[in-house]
Structure 1
Amino acid sequence: MIKYLISFPSGAMDVTDEELPAVADAAHAVVQEAKDAGVWVFGGGIDESVAPVRVDADGNATPGTYPQTARIEGGYSVLELPTYEAAVEWAAKIATACRCEQELRAFMYDPAS
């Protein structure tokens, strides 16, 4: 099975304050469906109030992100699925619940894990 990252940036979710509770309920329902199906690995949103730092091999922390990564924010889900087609189906479910497009990426297979 392959792990897939399904994500979206914060700005992609364009819902009103009135719509937000329904979106949250729909998103929680999809997460529960993924858990019930045994494909859920991890998910959550980036806490944008906590500034990012880069930590080197010596443990030194430098404020900010990699230059090519201007901003990492939004919501992320990791699912373990048998096929790419199944990943597209789950990404569509999440897109429907969150009312925004999702980006789908596959993690490289690591036989040691």
Structure 2
Amino acid sequence: MTKYLISFPAAAMQVPAHELAQVGRDAHAVIEEAKAAGVYVFAGGIDESVAPTLVAADGTIATGGYTWAPTLNGGFTVLELASYEEAIAWAARIAKACRCDQELRVFGLDTQS
């Protein structure tokens, strides 16, 4: 089984305010389906009200992330699935619920973790 990251940046979700509650219900319904199917690992979103902290190897910290990198925000779902085709099908279900395209990525297996 392979773990897949299904995600979207915050700017991709262009949903009118009056539809947000329904989007939330639809997205949670897909997550409940993933849990029932036994493929759910975790899901959530970046809390944009909390600034990232950059931590160096010597323990020094700086407010903000990498200045040269795009902002990391939006929603994330990790599912453990038998095939890439199955991952595409779940990503499509999440895209429909969230009303925006989803990026699909494969996690590499780290046998030491």
- Which of the five TM-score ranges fits, normalised by the shorter chain? over 0.9
Q: 1:77 aligns to what?
A: 77
Deviation at 1:96, TM superposition (A): 0.3
- Following the alignment from structure 2 to structure 1, what is the Cα–Cα distance between the partners of residues 81 and 61? 35
Identity across the alignment (%): 58
Aligned length: 113
- Aligned pairs for 1:32-111 within 5 A: 32-111=32-111
Paired residue type of 2:17: D
Q: 1:27 aligns to what?
A: 27
Deviation at 1:99, TM superposition (A): 0.3
User: Which 4+ runs in 1 deviate beyond 6 A?
Assistant: none
Supply the RMSD in Å over aligned alpha carbons: 1.1
- Following the alignment from structure 2 to structure 1, what is the Cα–Cα distance between the partners of residues 45 and 84? 23
1:56-109, Cα deviation, whole Å (9 max, x unpaired): 222221122224422000000111111111110100000000000000000111
Q: 1:17 aligns to what?
A: 17
Structure 1 range deviating more: 48-57 or 59-68: 59-68
Length-normalised TM-score, structure 2? 0.94
- Following the alignment from structure 1 to structure 2, what is the Cα–Cα distance between the partners of residues 85 and 30? 17
Length-normalised TM-score, structure 1? 0.94
Structure 1 range deviating more: 56-65 or 70-79: 56-65
Paired residue type of 2:35: K
SS in 2 for 1:18: helix
Which consecutive residues of structure 1, in runs of 5 or more, have no partner in the other structure? none
